[in-house]
Amino acid sequence: MDVIGKWTGRAASQLQGALRMTNQAFAARLGVAERTVAGWHSRPDVIPRPDMQAALDTLYGRADASVRLRFMESLRPAPSVTAQALRVAIAVVRRGGEVLLVCRRGDASLSWQFPAGMVKPGRTPAVVAVEETHAETGVRCAVRRHLGTRIHPVTGVVADYQLAEYLMGEATNRDDRENDAVAWVPITQLPKFIPLEQIYPPIVAALEDA
């Protein structure tokens, strides 16, 4: 049987829960006033006096296996959950001296961007970049290399950039709810569509190399 080193108000309240007793019933079983039990709930870090420690030991020792199991389960810390930042895969697709862009619909505005899609748990940015490019534009591409990752200065999401090469397919707007247009843009004309200061610097370097 598990041994409780020191009872606290929290542990006493959890034993009460494992026994499925009301404050009144639990107080009667221990031979204390009901307000003492209520005090354990309101002050979970309080240490009961020695005679009460012994009474709790006795009550726990006489409990059946199912009660002890429920009690020990209640003592386990809740699993920590780490929130994952929203991650987006962005495809920089080249075709000779051109790069693929989509014109997004926004709040009463339009803006040219690279094809992109949300990376759900269990997916990889490279795969998402290829799949979203085809879903949005009909263009099939292959990722050549990872350009880098940053917190996007406008949206605040984790942006993962993938440099890709055109394979096949006619560029068409296949998601007219999200996009207004799709176009191959000459790399030399890219700053006319996206302000240069908003473009992730490794993208500029990669396209200049092309």
- Amino acid type, 187: I
Q: Does the pLDDT at position 108 exceed 60?
A: no
Following DSSP, what letter does each residue of 21-56 receive, concatenated?
--HHHHHHHHTS-HHHHHHHHH-TT----HHHHHHH
User: Is there a shared CATH topology between the 9-75 domain and the 87-209 domain?
Assistant: no
The mean pLDDT value for 135-157 works out to 91
Under DSSP, is residue 128 helix (H, G, I), strand (E, B) or coil?
A: helix
For position 73, what pLDDT does the model report? 82
Q: Is domain 87-209 annotated with CATH 3.90.79.10?
A: yes
Q: Does the pLDDT at position 196 exceed 60?
A: yes
20 φψ region: left (φ > 0), alpha (ψ -120 to 50), beta (else):
left
| More confident: 176 or 144 | 144
The mean pLDDT value for 150-169 works out to 90
For position 121, what pLDDT does the model report? 85
For residues 137 and 117, is the Cβ–Cβ distance under 8 A? no
Long-range own/partner contacts, residues 187-192 (CB < 8 A, 24 or more apart)? 187/94, 187/97, 187/98, 187/99, 188/97, 190/99
Task: Give the separation between CA 181 and CA 9, rounded to whole angstroms.
Answer: 64
Which CATH architecture fits 9-75? Orthogonal Bundle (1.10)
- Amino acid type, 101: L
Query: Crossing angle for the helix pair 50-62 and 9-19, nearest 10 degrees?
Result: 30
* Least trusted range by pLDDT, from 77-86, 142-151, 157-166: 77-86
Domain residue spans of the chain = 9-75, 87-209
What is the Cβ-side half-sphere exposure of residue 97, based on CA atoms within 13 angstroms? 3
3-36 pLDDT per residue, tens:
678 899 989 999 999 999 999 999 999 988 888 9
Q: What percent of the chain clears pLDDT 90, i.e. is strictly above it?
A: 53
Q: Does the pLDDT at position 174 exceed 60?
A: yes
Cα three-residue angle 114-117-120, rounded to 5 degrees: 155
